[in-house]
Structure 1
Amino acid sequence: MGAVVSLGGRSRYAGVSMQRFRLSAFCGAALLYGALVWAPPRVVYAASSSTSYPSMGMAIGGVVAAVAAANGFSPADPRIAETVAAIGEAAAAAAATIAAGAGIAVGAVPWIAVAAVAAGGALLAVPTSLGNGSLQQWQSNSDGSVTVSGAGGSSPYPALAAPQQYFCVGNNTETGPGSACGSSVAAACQAFAQKENGTNGYTWVVGSSSSGSCSFDITLPQGGQETDVQNVTSSGTGAWSGNACSSGIIVNGSCASYSPPPPVTESVMAAAAATPAADDPDVLNAQVLAATVNALWGQAAQGEGYAGLPFPVNAPATAGEASSVEDQLGTSAPTVGSAVSGAGSLSGASSSAPFATSVPSTSNPASSVPVATNPGSGAEINLGPDPGIGAPGLEATPTAAQILAPILGLLPDLRSWAVPAHTSACPEPSFQLWGETYTFTSQCDLLEQNRDEIHGFFVAAFTVAALLVVLTA
């Protein structure tokens, strides 16, 4: 057979050790940051990268401008630029915290890790593909970790047909197709994992596939994990003589369908590092972009001295708005690689400001609208002859007495009413008997003795009666 070759491919778990990190559900920001940084970075900040991904900062700025327009703000509103700048600053601050906890440079932190911090573990509430055709789905957990599951569907590996080169794992390269072969190194590793998976209760998952070998993470029936490494051999060129296989996976000499690996719960940083290389060029799912904008915008709006637009809680960024921005950006639209790679590896990102944000010209019509610094300058606009209306007149400011007059002038009749003067004499009845006249005066003497008390009582009684009559009129 030919010499062992390496295609540099990666599986879902490329670059991740056999240990899967699961965090306990503690409260506080320290746990969330720890969940994000508990894994080695995917891209070293200062290292050269063969792939340069479009900037996420430009897409975020475009979505902010689209949301502002949808909520009735003018494209020329300077607060749009303030909002985008504040989002970049908030992202950089969160990245610095993550980088400090992981002992890495800020530029090695991916955008999706920063968004997960801002969202507090609620970035993706349901399983969501990172790209429109990604091989895996992410779902956020309350402890800051993510559960990554295979998206299923078609095989991510190239089809195999005669007379094509093929690759096999282990001692499976005699004279024909072995029991675990594939159209690529990664496909052969996946074939071996599917062949061995379930044997004697063991669960096999591809850890990495590179340098002509496969590394497998094996879960033991009684619990615990171990690793196993198998060599990958190549058939050379033009050696496949079996039937065509669309999945590119050969198990026990027959074409097998692709079986995605079981769900894995791990830190965001570990999940980002393990994202399949085949997903990197895929356009970022608009739902993920919208969720990132909402998380970072909400975080930035809470910062001290924030001068941008208020975060639209009742009308946040939607997948439709994010999709429109991606369409406008075209080849500059963010990809899965833009989200899961270190921000310092993105095209246009400098080592001093890897999380810089900006509003693309396609989303910012205000960039082409001149704003005069002097309102008196510019071309004169003829509005027709002067109608001579003049300045409007203003009423005199009322005095305090005029303001209080309606209150103090209530019920003027009641204010001027008084008990009328009245004079009377005490009746002294009399009668004649046997030629004598008898007169009763004792009651008058009694009334006279109590004149003041009786007078006061009747004044009060008639005052109350008169008041009731006036108020009920």
Structure 2
Amino acid sequence: MKLLKKWFLIKLCMLLAMPFNVLAQALPVAQPDRVSRSISGVLQDSMRTRGFAANDPRFGNTLARISPQLASVAGGAAAVTVGTVTAPGWASVALAVGIGAVITYAVNLGIDSLVRWLFRSDGKIDESGESLTIQTSTAMTIGGVYWKVSFHSGNINIELAAGDGEAIARQGYFEYLTQTNQNTSSTPNCSPSANQVSCGVIFALKQASGAPTSCPAGSMFKNGMCGAYTFVSPAAVPQKTALTPQQATTDIPAADLEKKLNPAVIAALVNKAWQQAAAQPGYDGLPYPQSKPITATETATWTAQNPDYAPTVRDFTAPNPVTTGSPQPWALPQNPTASTTTPATTPNANTTNPAATNPQENLGADPAIGAPTLEQTPTAQMILQPILDLLPDLKNFSPTMATGTCPRPTMNLFHQTQTFEAHCTILDNNRDAIHAAMVVAFTLSALLIILSA
């Protein structure tokens, strides 16, 4: 036994003294230049789709004029500290450039991310996440409106029904995790709409009628019977208001940092940067398309075509300092997908005034051109005269008045001549009434003929 103890102690000392090769796991590194690349790529694609050729001198000038505008905004943007680096980030620049005027709602910072930001006009950020409570207060009545989850794939069979769409969608996702032996404590990011709720791979669809049975509020229909919900409530980001960019950045969950940045954020940043650059004196780029701004769809198209350069939430929120390798961190690259980016900082000359190089014609102090003359303003009579001159032959037309007499037919009857004139007496006695009735009748007939023409 003593020998065994000695051997164990010697072995332990050898293990403690023996060097070990420890492999450190590299932390994800932010690449703010991805934001610059995506802004440049989306901007160039948008200019081309709006009918501007790349060889138009104003095409390159637009990039060159937006770059210093972004740098100017960054100079007054709030700095963000991450680790040992302190500098403005694209998030604080977006806040300073005023994208809150474009995105007026709390937007998910990343695609399918939990945290939402509202970019306020006072330089602060309101932060929110998913609701802690999911509505389960709608009962389901047999034959009536209800929500349905139906998912069948391999050995996975999920059939659920209930009166609340998001609740049954989350329950379906919980069932999916259970049947695939996954961690059931993870909660999905659900996207509800009027007739559909998507939670991960599960979709709940609203049915206008045909509920299979009646279930009270707070329950669902599963396996032929009503029962309570069992899904895990979402771990929500707490609601906070008036955060500084530093505070809002610190609150972002680690799981959200590596998610792709929401295309709506990039689209809003491009629109505001272009709009502000176009308003600067001496701007010689393409005019900002006020009636057709850049959309999130255009941004999503570019990032889908260039996934390696699609920015993440970490790229958007990390500091973007001036370094030896990046002396102009806010400049937009001419070629957004090149391995080495060249900033577009030199605008083309004489692009807004084609006659800038031509000599100016000097007309002298008094060129004797004279004041311009205006034609006489037409009067109402002059405007109506062409209409009044139509069909001149009808001007002197006057209808002739007929002079008729009432017919009095006669007949020989019983060797006597009988004259029928009682109707004439009736007509003469009612002449005014009959005249008025005929005037109304012919007037209405004429009106109907004119209106039907």
TM-score normalised by the shorter chain: which range applies?
Answer: 0.3 to 0.5
Which one scores higher on RCO, CA 8 angstroms, separation ≥ 6? 1
TM-score by length of 2: 0.44
TM-score by length of 1: 0.42
